[in-house]
Amino acid sequence: MGLFSSIAGSVAAKMGGEQGRMFQVALEIIERNGGAPGVLQKFRDAGMAEEVDSWLANGENLPLAPDQIEVALGTQVLTDIAQKFHMSLDEVAKTLANYLPKVVDKLSPDGKVPQTQSDLMAQALSAWRRM
């Protein structure tokens, strides 16, 4: 387990329960896609730029539907995550649709996306301290 995964696990454990587990899943998705900029670009490329912009802006986050998660990330990525966390593919898509916007929002409180893994870890630690 790498340092990033360890920090994600610590944040998730502090959150506890389903929320903590989904926070960890969302951070796993971010890490697998080249960090926050990479995962956000996948959603923009899939036609969800308005949604992404809302997660970074102040105010309410626009929601995602589970099928939008699958379109942006791909079935194989969701299948891998489902196996890792002992969930069904539908459950992963549904819960990511709920939690990914919240995680991105928490990791970019000033509207700026962490550009490096170290920036992402620092922001995750900061979010952990605010909880």
Half-sphere exposure of residue 121: CA atoms within 13 angstroms, side-chain side: 11
pTM: 0.74
Per-residue pLDDT of the chain (131 residues; tens, 9 = 90+): 455 555 556 655 665 566 666 667 777 787 788 777 888 999 999 999 999 999 988 889 999 999 999 999 999 999 988 998 888 999 999 988 988 888 788 777 777 776 666 666 666 656 555 55
Q: What span, in angstroms and rounded, lies between the C-alpha atoms of 117 and 83?
A: 24
Please report the pLDDT score of residue 128 as a whole number. 52
Residue 125's domain spans which residues?
Answer: 3-130
* Phi-psi sector, 58: left (phi>0), alpha (psi -120 to 50), beta: beta
Going by C-alpha positions, the residue among 22, 44, 43, 45 that lies closest to residue 98 is 22
CATH of the domain at 22: 1.10.10.690
Q: How many domains does the chain have?
A: 1
Check: CB of residue 33 under 8 Å from CB of residue 42.
Answer: yes
Residue 121: its pLDDT value, please?
A: 60
